[in-house]
């Protein structure tokens, strides 16, 4: 292993009747920013297809594509105008089919986003719904009369700022939107809406996708009585949404019933995989409900790491403790960074610490019990880019500027070639600027450097595949004190100890165990700053 010891023989993973996704490493692609094939400055599906060899070279098991569906792009694809088509900026259905075919040929599964909470206001369903109270789609969205004084039906606030209700003159009613007012809330309590969403899912399953990441699933159903949310306790607040406890505008108990219908559909297609995004300050109960037993989704992830201001042993231990290996409890997934959060490396490490911190963080992610999600560019150590206000595209950042860190800063173009124009992402000016230091982190430069983070990532993914304890084993926290985190991974006759130093001082060890991997100069006697060590016992 690059800059690491690998003296102990690998314990080959046992052949077990486990589904392909259990313990799989999944690589998230943000299509607008991955690779541009036609020179318009925006990434597209053919660009992704042309770069799938890079993803396959990491050794990951699957890719997750963020939305590429027909959309006015007010929320960059999460405002869907047609669930069953590709937006022209990304290509065509035939381009999608070619991507799936190439991915499968490389041994990669393909996951895509499903957005069931809302659509674009340009979707045909909403255009029909707003025309009157008696049409075919009249109750496909959440409509309500005003209060007697003309004010909105409830005090609910939208995530992106302001009331979650917008008046529509045609229906003489308010419609609900938990995000932008151009993202009207679907009435998923309606069986006809559920059926339409399941038909859209089947459309993509028929085209060969291997599963879904389900966006904002806890926003899918609301309280039909439209009761006001109570005030939130004092805490950090940058938008009206933060002033309320989100009790009635989301998280309705009937969400699990819809998820059972979705799971039944997926099971009819074989070994597919579904992972839910669950946000909010108290997501654990919902994550467990959404993944309970074998009738719901396979996995879920929260924002435990995505919004953490610091990454510490205690933060990691608390997150892991929420997912014990118990019968009936779902399988966890983990992401350190994604398209909705500032890149973790910039949140957690000073500039001079980032090269070594990134190596330790990668080792941590790839030794956790569950499914690690790698965000594009994470294998290169990409940092958060400071986007000038005039260049912002993210509606949340624009609305809450300057108090909310821009999601745009984590969505900047992937650097492929250090010396090419725009680092090989495009032949013309990209939709977002490249990070000033990102060309030096380009794929071609790191591929040629045996000691690079990119090559270490490849080695750590291979290590995970070679050890059943890392891919499938139980996890037990042994120590989470100060800067030291130690946990054990056990499977069958194999037991591994994983040790991490989150600080800048050397930590002395007892010298026991056989090194399987050592990061940043670690050995059995000491963990240097941001050192990591995997030991066989």
Q: What residues act catalytically?
A: 215, 277
| 3 state SS of 63 | strand
Burial group, residue 233, by CB count within 10 angstroms (0-12, 13-18, 19+):
exposed
Q: Can you name the residues that pair with 523 across neighbouring β-strands?
A: 526
N-terminal to C-terminal alpha carbon distance within the chain: 19
H helices present in 66-210, as ranges: 93-105, 124-129, 191-206
* Tokens at 399, concatenated: 């609305």
- The tokens describing 428, both together, are 């013309």
Contact 376/424 with Cβ under 8 angstroms?
no
In whole angstroms, give the CA distance from residue 38 to residue 428.
Answer: 9
Q: Rounded CA gap, 76 and 432, in Å? A: 13
The answer to whether the beta carbons of residues 189 and 167 sit under 8 Å apart is: no
- For residues 199 and 201, what is the distance between their CA atoms, to the nearest angstrom? 5
SS3 content of the chain, % helix, strand, coil (to 5): 30, 20, 50
Nearest alpha carbon to residue 28 among 111, 115, 116: 111
Token duo for residue 113: 């986003």
Number of Cβ within a 10 Å radius of residue 531 = 25
Could you identify the residue written with the tokens 């304890």? 469
φ and ψ of 421, to 5 deg: -55, 135
Cα(290)–Cα(178) distance, integer angstroms: 20
CA torsion sign for 40, 46, 48, 54 is: negative
Angle between helices 255-267 and 191-206 (to 10 degrees): 30
């Amino acid at each position: 292993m690059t800059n690491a010891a690998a003296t102990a023989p690998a314990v080959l993973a046992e052949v077990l009747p486990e589904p392909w996704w259990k313990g799989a490493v999944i690589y998230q692609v943000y299509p607008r920013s991955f690779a541009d094939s036609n020179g318009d400055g925006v990434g597209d599906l053919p660009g992704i297809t042309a770069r799938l060899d890079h993803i396959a070279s990491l050794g990951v098991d699957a890719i997750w594509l963020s939305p590429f569906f027909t959309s006015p792009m007010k929320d960059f694809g999460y405002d869907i105008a047609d669930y069953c088509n590709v937006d022209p900026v990304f290509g065509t259905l035939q381009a999608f089919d070619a991507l799936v075919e190439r991915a499968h040929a490389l041994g990669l599964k393909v996951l895509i986003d499903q957005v069931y909470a809302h659509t674009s206001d340009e979707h045909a369903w909403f255009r029909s719904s707003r025309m009157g109270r008696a049409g075919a789609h009249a109750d496909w969205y959440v409509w309500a009369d005003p209060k007697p004084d003309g004010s909105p039906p409830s005090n609910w606030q939208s995530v992106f700022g302001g009331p979650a209700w917008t008046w529509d003159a045609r229906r003489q009613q308010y419609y609900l939107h938990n995000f932008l007012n151009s993202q009207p809330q679907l009435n998923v309590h309606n069986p006809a809406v559920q059926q339409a969403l399941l038909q859209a899912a089947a459309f993509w399953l028929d085209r060969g996708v291997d599963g879904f990441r389900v966006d904002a699933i806890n926003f899918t159903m609301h309280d039909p009585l439209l009761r006001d949310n109570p005030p939130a306790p004092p805490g950090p607040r940058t938008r009206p949404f933060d002033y309320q406890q989100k009790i009635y505008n989301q998280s309705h108990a009937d969400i699990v019933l819809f998820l059972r219908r979705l799971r039944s559909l997926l099971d009819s297609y074989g070994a597919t995989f579904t992972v839910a995004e669950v946000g909010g300050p108290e997501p654990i109960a919902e994550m467990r409900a959404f993944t309970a037993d074998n009738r719901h989704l396979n996995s879920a992830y929260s924002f435990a790491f995505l919004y953490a201001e610091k990454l510490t042993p205690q933060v990691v231990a608390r997150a892991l403790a929420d997912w014990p290996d118990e019968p009936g409890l779902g399988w966890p997934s983990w992401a350190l960074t994604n398209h909705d959060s500032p890149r973790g490396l910039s949140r957690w490490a000073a500039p001079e610490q980032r090269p070594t911190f990134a190596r330790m963080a990668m080792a941590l992610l790839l030794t956790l019990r569950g499914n690690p999600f790698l965000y594009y560019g994470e294998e290169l150590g990409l940092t958060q880019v400071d986007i000038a206000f005039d260049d912002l595209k993210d509606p949340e950042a624009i609305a809450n500027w300057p108090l909310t860190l821009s999601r745009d800063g984590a969505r900047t173009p992937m650097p492929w070639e250090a010396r090419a124009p725009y680092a090989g992402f495009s032949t013309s000016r990209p939709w977002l600027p490249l990070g000033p230091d990102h060309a030096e982190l380009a794929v071609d430069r790191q591929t040629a450097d045996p000691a690079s983070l990119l090559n270490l990532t490849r080695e750590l993914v291979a290590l995970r595949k070679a050890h059943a304890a890392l891919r499938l084993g139980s996890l037990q926290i042994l120590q989470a004190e100060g800067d030291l985190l130690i946990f054990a991974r056990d499977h069958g006759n194999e037991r591994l100890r994983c040790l991490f130093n989150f600080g800048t001082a050397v930590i002395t060890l007892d010298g026991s165990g056989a090194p399987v991997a050592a990061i940043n100069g670690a050995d059995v006697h000491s963990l240097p700053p941001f050192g990591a060590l995997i030991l066989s016992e």
